[in-house]
Structure 1
Amino acid sequence: MQQENFTIWSFFFLEGFSRYPRLEIVLFIFSLIMYLITLLGNSTLILIIILDSRLQTPMYFFLGNLSFMDICYTSASIPTLLVNLLSSQKTIFFSGCAIQMYLSLAMGSTECVLLAVMAYDRYVAICNPLRYPIIMNRQVCVQTASISWTMGCLTALLESTFALKTPLCGNLIDHFTCEILAVLKLACMSSLLMDTIMLVVSILLLPIPMLLICISYVFILSTILRISSAEGRSKAFSTCGAHLTVVILYYGAALSMYLKPSSSNSQEIDKIISLLYGVLTPMLNPIIYSLRNKEVKEAMKKLLGKI
């Protein structure tokens, strides 16, 4: 009898920040500026990595992948947010919602794995510098990046497919994007299969990569502390500092969103965290790597000189 109330929705309403109409224009300006900086910063970083021969190394190969992911991740949700902040009809079609959910999950999941791969790259570079060119050769870099992309895209396909097949008893999403947790709150009944998939994927893509990153940095730190010269220690710290900063920003926001009890924070706080997670972190990534990396700054000056 209960299944008679199930409806296949052709579109959804995105609640967003409509409860705070005076705040919407401020959020529009903030989000637009952050989005433009994200596009400019990450595109520039990809460009100098491609054009500068000194940056044809594993670390910058992975960094280029990270920048491309950040562009895709923000482009999946921020344009819709910008339109809805200025529109009275905050709607999105089912197909658009599905694409948005999939791309956000795919890019976010891939980044989790890629950050762990980048930590391993730094571990090999500092702990086994003589074998670094052999261990992290071009083929290995392409294979590990491909595994990261494949793993992220497949887990996202699994999650989004089951989420969108879940019977929903409403079409008002209390979020500014088709975020999977917000969509699942509309489910007519709890699904053990969906809960299990979410739990397994969350553990696979959050705590496990984070553990691998921590283990890598334990070995890195122990190696750095054994370096006798202060200059050598400083150089080793500088190569890891940018990556570690990005990891803390990314995983801090992700863990607070996906591995917390549902009652611990209000939905409004979830939206703010999601906005910072989706706009601020991708914007800061190229800035962090540029400011803390001499090679990137020199390549940037070289590119600007040519322009």
Structure 2
Amino acid sequence: MDLKNQSFISFTLLGLSEKPNLRLPLFSFFMGAYILCVMGNVLILMLISSQSRLHTPMYFLLGSLSFVDVCLTSVTIPRTLYSLISQDLSISFNGCFIQLFLFLMAGNMDSFLLAIMALDRYAAICKPLHYRAIMSKRTCISLLTFSFFLVSFNGTLHATMTSTLSYCDWVIHHYYCDIPVLLSLSCTDTSAQQMVLYIEGSVMVMGPMLVILGSYILIIRAVLKLRTSKGSNQTFSTCSSHLTMVFLFYSSVIFMYCGPSSLHSPAYDRVISVVYSVITPTLNPFIYTLRNKKVKNAARMVIQCGR
């Protein structure tokens, strides 16, 4: 089918499940997760912007992560909620690929921010005397700007390559437009797209993950040299929480985008995608601040001022 004619056709998003009796539980789950995600991340942004003691590289990056997490969930969840409540499953051709582009941008930016935050923790723990010079405001902004241009290029590349395919099936067994699902609907040769997805996608995913793992290995090695067991236990506790979220995020992303197609099925893909597109962004603000005394004290001060 000609590309111009395709642009007037809509895809059908079947959602997380086609069973009518699951519509209400799924609506409650997505609504609860979205409210929790937005409230948690907006609260962190408010605390960081209002408290001068939190105007440091670590909290600047944490605020950036909170903003990106809200964007990531806002790309998919509101559209899913609308489909569940209105039973309108259609999404336009252009709307589908705009959603794909925005999702790839936000998801990859989330990944790069986790890597930059790991570098920040490495500099703070392993190079404390040079921390302010290493993680200066200029460095943070430069890293974020570079990451933004990189994820923009990645999103544009995949959205453009996928939108130029010819489609014979317009029913998407998913709750948002994603690359593996769209490739499975094409009736043309997708070997070029698959190769780009494996090579370029692997670099975009594995690069930040290796930076995170390398940073935490160096952090753990430095912590083991600490003389006080209290400091070691506290740092290990924080690292374990962060690494748990990193494992959930990257294991699900690697399975979805870098795993062999023989392992994919509509049911498994939908469940796996919930981990990195809903659960991780919702839990991120709580995991990264739950053991943070400065954020707790800032929240306590805001509450007391409000009273």
TM-score higher than 0.5 here?
yes
Shift of 1:58: 1.1
Shift of 1:188: 1.1
* Cα offsets for 1:190-228 (capped at 9, x unmatched): 233212221122211112221121111111111000011
- 1:60: which partner in 2? 59
Structure 1 length-normalised TM: 0.93
- 1:71: which partner in 2? 70
Shift of 1:28: 0.4
- 1:47: which partner in 2? 46
Q: Does 1:176 align with 2:212?
A: no
Q: Does 1:217 align with 2:216?
A: yes
Q: Does 1:151 align with 2:187?
A: no
Q: Which runs of 5+ in 1 are unaligned?
A: none
Alignment of 1:1-307 (within 5 A): 8-10=6-8, 11-307=10-306
- Percent of aligned positions that are identical: 38
Q: Which amino acid aligns with 1:288?
A: I
SS at match of 2:186: coil
For structure 1, which segment, 234-243 or 118-127, has the greater mean C-alpha deviation from structure 2 after superposition?
234-243
Distance in 1 (alpha carbons) for counterparts of 2:141 and 2:3 = 49
SS at match of 1:168: coil
Distance in 1 (alpha carbons) for counterparts of 2:280 and 2:23 = 21
Structure 2 length-normalised TM: 0.93
Distance in 2 (alpha carbons) for counterparts of 1:5 and 1:151 = 27
* Cα offsets for 1:248-302 (capped at 9, x unmatched): 2211221221122222242111111212321111111111122121111111112
Distance in 2 (alpha carbons) for counterparts of 1:99 and 1:7 = 18
Q: Which amino acid aligns with 2:276?
A: Y
* Cα offsets for 1:72-111 (capped at 9, x unmatched): 1110110111111123331011222122111100011111
Shift of 1:238: 4.9
Distance in 2 (alpha carbons) for counterparts of 1:223 and 1:4 = 59
Q: Which amino acid aligns with 2:247?
A: I
* Cα offsets for 1:47-71 (capped at 9, x unmatched): 1111111111111111111111111
Query: Residue 292 and residue 252 in structure 1: after superposition, are their counterparts in 2 closer, same or farther (change >3 A)?
Result: farther
SS at match of 2:128: coil
Q: Which runs of 5+ in 2 are unaligned?
A: none
* Cα offsets for 1:124-162 (capped at 9, x unmatched): 111111010111111001111111222112111111111
Contact 1:106/1:155 (8 A) holds in 2: yes
Q: Which amino acid aligns with 2:6?
A: I
For structure 1, which segment, 28-37 or 16-25, has the greater mean C-alpha deviation from structure 2 after superposition?
16-25
Shift of 1:18: 4.8
Contact 1:101/1:180 (8 A) holds in 2: yes
